[in-house]
Amino acid sequence: MRMIQSTLSAALVVAMAASAIAGALPEQAMVQHVVKPDEFELSGGESVRLIGVDAPIADPAQRKGEYYGKAGFDWVRELVEGKQIRLHYDAEPRDVFDRLLAYVETADGVDLNLELLRRGYAVAACFPPNVSRCAEFSRAQQQAMQARKGIWDVPSVKPGASSANMMLRKVKVARVIDGDTIQLEDGTIVRYLGIDAPESEVAWRKGAFGYEAYASNKALVEGQEVLLEQDREVSDSRGRTLAWVWIDGEQGRELVNARLIEDGVAWVALFPPNTRHADKLFAAQQRAQQAKRGIWAAR
């Protein structure tokens, strides 16, 4: 396990200064209770949410399949519950629930956020403006996926199927709801797989790109015929259809999910087992980050 001071010291100098302005923030704390692998209650009454990662909760009823077990939860509890941790902050030190947002280092020097990704116990979830380690976290997730660690130890497609022969269903988009959700003519709500976009209703919050995400999605698909490709899970817990969405343009067939990421109005948010086009999404995000487009501008 490596220490994280060296990683953070260069990347977060400006962010730490911004955090200091916001008020005194604890640099060390005792973990009283692990709520889930990415959220703890501290002995002083504060709660902390880990930056840049999203871990499945240890409740099998919340998700289908063995890949949402409690291995990550048990590992984190053993590592930090009842023990001291160090907290490192990014540009925004608290969320809307007033939880501390932090990179956590254990007393033994374990970079917890990164190690959760390396072990396949969490997925990378970079939310602006706290994105100083996003590229590093994306690489760690890709490596865990390739090694089929933790939650990634599942096939990404049904046996005998491939992206080349998956059935595509032609539908017409009635309206765009937000940057990652659409409604079809028959009333079906479709949630794009593999991405997350800022919500349009919070477009004017600091660091949000809700309106831009909505507008980009609208320009691409509203009133248009699109092709839906489904992965292993066809719907989410809210009854929305989950899909990869394709459009046919002058340059050929294009994956809308990846296009929104490349335009800098969405980021990669992959959850197993729906990972068929993971490589396309990661490549699009890398290009958007390098070009400093949209949510990645001046980060």
Is the CATH code 2.40.50.90 the one for domain 5-152? yes
Report whether 195 contacts 266 (CB < 8 A): yes
Question: What residue has token string 């909760």?
Answer: 57
Highest mean pLDDT among 68-82, 189-203, 204-218, 281-295: 281-295
Burial of 52 (C-beta count, 10 Å sphere; 0-12/13-18/19+): buried
Burial of 47 (C-beta count, 10 Å sphere; 0-12/13-18/19+): middle
Strand partners, 268: 195
| pLDDT tens figures, 101-128 | 999 999 999 999 999 999 999 999 887 7
Q: How confident is the model at residue 159 (pLDDT cuts 50, 70, 90)?
A: very low
State the pLDDT at residue 50.
97
Q: Over 90: is that where the pLDDT of 239 sits?
A: yes
State the pLDDT at residue 150.
87
Is the CATH code 2.40.50.90 the one for domain 169-296? yes
- Tell me the two tokens of residue 180: 């990652």
CA 38 to CA 216: how far, in whole Å?
31
Q: Where are the alpha helices (DSSP H) in the chain?
A: 5-11, 13-21, 71-80, 112-118, 134-147, 210-221, 256-262, 278-291
Q: How confident is the model at residue 251 (pLDDT cuts 50, 70, 90)?
A: confident
Average pLDDT of the residues in 166-180: 93
The residues near 259 (Cβ < 8 Å, ≥ 6 apart) are 220, 284
- CA end-to-end span of the chain: 27
CA 133 to CA 142: how far, in whole Å?
14
| pLDDT tens figures, 86-100 | 999 999 999 989 999
- What are the extents of the domains in the chain? 5-152, 169-296
Question: What residue has token string 């394709």?
Answer: 246
Q: Do domains 5-152 and 169-296 have the same CATH topology?
A: yes
Percent residues over pLDDT 90 in the chain: 60
Q: How confident is the model at residue 129 (pLDDT cuts 50, 70, 90)?
A: confident
Average pLDDT of the residues in 28-37: 94
Q: Over 60: is that where the pLDDT of 282 sits?
A: yes
Average pLDDT of the residues in 213-223: 96
- Tell me the two tokens of residue 93: 């030190």
Dump strand ranges (E) for the chain.
28-36, 39-42, 47-50, 53-54, 84-88, 100-106, 123-124, 169-178, 181-184, 189-192, 195-196, 225-229, 241-249, 252-255, 267-268
Instruction: Give the three-class secondary structure for 217.
Output: helix
